[in-house]
Structure 1
């Protein structure tokens, strides 16, 4: 494996997260310690690092002078939060995974889960992600294996589509009141996993993947005062 450099990290993000321009600010090439955060406010004013990865990097500005800045927004959300998140599907042991599209764009996954009941599914999600924001139990009897749709949006159209595709439970970031009528009409269960919670989970997965790709790289997560992850700054 090649050593971690700012250019190599940027190339990895471009390939694995489909991020067209992951290098947001140049800096020293050699990177031993990478600090990761969801947004600039989560980072301390002074930190020990050679470079930064910030999911929402626009607010970095002139902060943390001398450090290169990497970022990924849409690709990070698509691959590591809700939507077609095959990393989460693999960790939870989902089977028969196939993509779902909405308006011609990748929007999520349909899968069969190993849990036989609504309660067991929620327990597995809580164990992996640290909780949920809200949920609505399914109203129609579940026959056969439990199937879920993991989607990056919730509206009446996507709820109806998921039900038509055979989903029993709809997983997404936020519960939209405007979609509740369609959800209830379809008999779907919904688990709102939480926008920031799923982002924090994705940030941890990204750190794991970068450490595997670049042995010796230290990756420190910074949740800041608003972090909803189950733990504080962690070395991965």
Structure 2
């Protein structure tokens, strides 16, 4: 069965409605011919040059990414600039570009939900619910069997693809963990949410020094969760498999592949 870019975009917007995106976000159909035929779709977290080259080399007609390439305004798409180079390579290669970002975070099978599922959380619920039941930002839940902070961190190391930054933990290795709050991608905006404060540990990415330090100092004084900081790219990469299965199910005959390119920006770490 033949599909067009417009057909796929319709499914993307049904699976991950644009109405669920944050006001500052810029997901959606970013480049390409809506009428072009699509036989193959490639999925990735980031539209970087290596991913664009990979998609074109694989013969993909459409690249679906999590992070919008044009999230912030640009005044040039010249090819000596990263965003211009990506767009030029995709356009020359006949590969359209669509992004599903915060609109894919909040759905029942979104980025945080994918991580919660891999951890085996029981009764996962959004940290911040939306107006649509079951949808919202982040996830909270309990483990089927309690563990320790150290064992949980090691489990994350097995679940998530390897990155130079690894798994960073603030808390005692042997402290018990039964309840978890998590947010795929950058989640320090949720540090004060009641569901986060009530958990034994909060897992997210891109935790900055001052918010993390203040959070843990308060926890030492009055009680509160440990922190686990993981790679932003790795925490969201897990969702691509779910997204690929959903697209393939909705569009019979469409070939859907997932990129293994590590678009985490860090290459190595010196452990002191």
Q: TM-score range by the shorter chain?
A: 0.7 to 0.9
RMSD after superposition: 3.3
The match for 2:159 among 106, 121, 128 is: 128
Q: Distance in 2 between matches of 1:128 and 1:196?
A: 13
TM-score, normalised to structure 2's length? 0.67
Q: Distance in 2 between matches of 1:40 and 1:208?
A: 23
> 1:149 aligns to what?
181
Distance 1:133 1:43, change over 3 A: farther
State the Cα distance separating 1:3 from its structure 2 match. Answer: 5.6
Output one character per residue of 1:133-187: Cα deviation in whole Å (capped at 9) or x when no partner.
4111258954xx70011135225x72573454x2000011122211222224224
- Describe how 1:87-106 pairs up with structure 2 within 5 A: 87-101=114-128, 106=136
Gaps of 5+ in 1: 229-236
Distance 1:217 1:184, change over 3 A: farther
Distance 1:206 1:120, change over 3 A: same
> 1:39 aligns to what?
47
Distance 1:111 1:3, change over 3 A: farther
Q: Secondary structure at the match of 1:39?
A: coil
Are the counterparts in 1 of residues 187 and 207 from structure 2 also a CA contact under 8 Å? no
Distance 1:36 1:136, change over 3 A: same
Are the counterparts in 2 of residues 169 and 188 from structure 1 also a CA contact under 8 Å? yes
State the Cα distance separating 1:15 from its structure 2 match. Answer: 1.9
Matched, 1:75 2:103: yes
- Describe how 1:1-236 pairs up with structure 2 within 5 A: 4-19=3-18, 22-27=28-33, 28-37=35-44, 38-41=46-49, 42-44=51-53, 46-47=56-57, 48-55=59-66, 56-58=68-70, 59=83, 60-65=86-91, 66-79=94-107, 80-81=110-111, 85-101=112-128, 106-117=136-147, 118-131=149-162, 132-138=166-172, 142=176, 146-151=178-183, 152-154=186-188, 158-159=191-192, 161-162=194-195, 164=197, 166-179=198-211, 180-186=213-219, 187-224=224-261, 226=263
Q: How many residues align?
A: 220
Q: Secondary structure at the match of 1:87?
A: helix
Gaps of 5+ in 2: 20-26, 71-82, 266-272
Q: Distance in 2 between matches of 1:141 and 1:198?
A: 23
> 2:24 aligns to what?
none
Q: Secondary structure at the match of 1:116?
A: strand
Output one character per residue of 1:33-55: Cα deviation in whole Å (capped at 9) or x when no partner.
11223113222174212222233
Q: Secondary structure at the match of 1:62?
A: helix
Greater Cα offset, 23-32 or 194-203: 23-32
